[in-house]
Homo-oligomer: A and B are copies of this chain.
Amino acid sequence: MLHQQVDPKSPRDILTRGINASPGAATGQIVFSSAAAQDAEARGEPCVLVRRETVPEDIRGMHASVAVVTERGGMTSHAAVIARGLGLPCIVGASGISIDPRNRTLRAGERIFREGDVLTIDGTSGEVLAGAARLLEPALDDYFSQLLDWADGIRRIGVRVNADTPSDARTGLRFMAEGIGLCRTEHMFFDEARLPAMREMIFADTAEDRMLALERILPVQRNDFLALFEIMAGRPVTIRLFDPPLHEFLPHDRDGMRELAESLDLPLSDVVRRVEALTEFNPMLGMRGVRLGITIPEIYEMQARAIFEATVAAARKGISFTPEIMIPLVSVGREVELVRARVDSIAAAVRNETNTQFDYRLGVMVETPRAALRAGDFAGQVSFMSYGTNDLTQMTYGLSRDDAGRFMGKYVGQGVYREDPFHILDQDGVGELLSIGLERARGEARHHGLGLRRAWRQSRSIAFCLRIGVDYVSCSPFRVPVARLAAAHETILAEVEEAIPAESRPRS
């Protein structure tokens, strides 16, 4: 209902069927790389990104595309997960096609397609179609809006949007999100204009050099935030400080390193050594989040300054609000103390420089089991806590989402896991940690949000949030309407349960 669809009456020239990883349909020219996708977008031409599988660096290419197809991967592969988040039609595991990225050809049986040829991706059925099929616009009509309005009158749990870009924020707002529950700031650093400064920062030997590099990112980042603040017009915006490991910003192949060495005017061996030194055995469990924030404090300082300067700029345009700053991957209370001290002093400096008063709220992202168990250590220091169900699930199970794909099918098939815990919130394990966290923080932290990026599909997850006392859920833009409906649905069910004694209820 919320996406374009292939007109059922349109003829279909089916090349292959893959896994329907993200619904909706789109038509565009084939591109084989993220760079080509960005070029196509710059030319205003819709494109379909075609890859064997996607990697984190492809995020910009995915942003620039209207649909994604991968030869490999399953429902939990990188492409599938990111595409669902972006609301992009996506087909993964399309093993009937064979992609040759070097020669930029896509082969389907005897047929060969090249860059620029047109495909239609039907992410709802999983069909890859040759040429431009006829598409129907999404039916976001008045009846649907009316239904959502009724839902909003009933539900007792907030719905925010995960938005990193103005376009995400606008979509969320169009679907009546009450604020931004999660603004990830790292994608902003992958932007081609900023990546060189980011890399200079990584290669800097002193705090001064790091600050010089970051000063070049500051104005761009400030504009990123100001744009979001303007769009959200006073609604809450939760910004998560920089989270990913630094090696994600470095090239991993020889050619990329050679280019980087030239641009930084360093010997290739230095670049290779630095890349190797930053490589991690388990990046998920490595030097990221607050660990980076404490070890290289200049990054968070720059981000805090960008947030506060954007807050002042917004105030001067008549938008008054209190930004929410969230610290990722905490596991001990002292991490928050250290970051808070620095952010406080940046706030004082910006107030002083701009002669403007503003407030801010500090919060933590609870995504390690230890953070949930020790929620009481954080609660007194912060205004809010937001529960990241994705990382928390990975750590509680000891299971990387990116690596689980290889056996998840077998595991769910044999009933080892009743359901994929990255799709349906594991109430017994992860859920217990969430309740423990909420219980131990209650009365201290003022509000509690829960990321529903992956668990959104089931209204059961929302029911669980209601039960444990989460104030709002936050999900990707295209999930907002569904979350509003599910929240209302579950609120009604909960009220029915309260009103009717268990023994007189019909069995479900």
Interface residues, chain A, with chain B CB atoms under 8 Å away: 280-287, 291, 294-295, 329, 331-332, 334-335, 338, 367-370, 373-374, 391, 394-400, 402-404, 406-407, 410-411, 414-417, 426, 428-430, 432-433
Please measure, in the bound complex, the distance between the C-alpha atom of A287 and the C-alpha atom of B429, giving whole angstroms. 20
Write out the residue numbers on chain B whose beta carbons fall within 8 Å of the beta carbon of A400: 280-282, 284-286
* A433 touching B287, Cβ below 8 Å: no
Residues of B within 8 A of A395 (CB): 285, 369, 395-396, 398
Q: How far is the CA of A410 from the CA of B329 in the complex (A)?
A: 17
- Report the copy number of this chain in the oligomer: 2
Closest B residue to A333 by beta carbon equals B416
Q: Which residues from chain B contact A338 at a C-beta distance below 8 Å?
A: 414, 416
Question: 15 interchain pairs (CB within 8 A)?
Answer: A281-B403, A282-B284, A282-B403, A283-B403, A284-B400, A286-B406, A287-B403, A294-B416, A295-B407, A329-B398, A367-B398, A368-B396, A369-B398, A370-B426, A374-B428
- Chain B contacts for A368, CB-based, 8 A: 396-398
Q: Verify A396–B369 contact, CB threshold 8 A.
A: yes
Determine chain A's interface SS by DSSP, over half rule: helix
| Interface pair B287/A406, CB less than 8 Å apart | yes
Q: Let me know if A407 and B283 touch, CB within 8 A.
A: no
Partner of A417, one of B281, B283, B332, B391: B332
Docked pose: A284 CA to B370 CA in angstroms: 18
A235 → B minimal CB distance (Å): 31
CA gap between A397 and B282 in the complex, in Å: 13
- Docked CA distance A406–B403 (Å): 24
A-B residue pairs, 7 tightest by C-beta? A285-B400, A286-B403, A282-B400, A368-B398, A370-B429, A369-B369, A281-B402
**In the complex the two chains form, is A332's CB within 8 Å of B416's CB?**
yes
Asked if A331 contacts B397 (CB within 8 A), the reply is yes
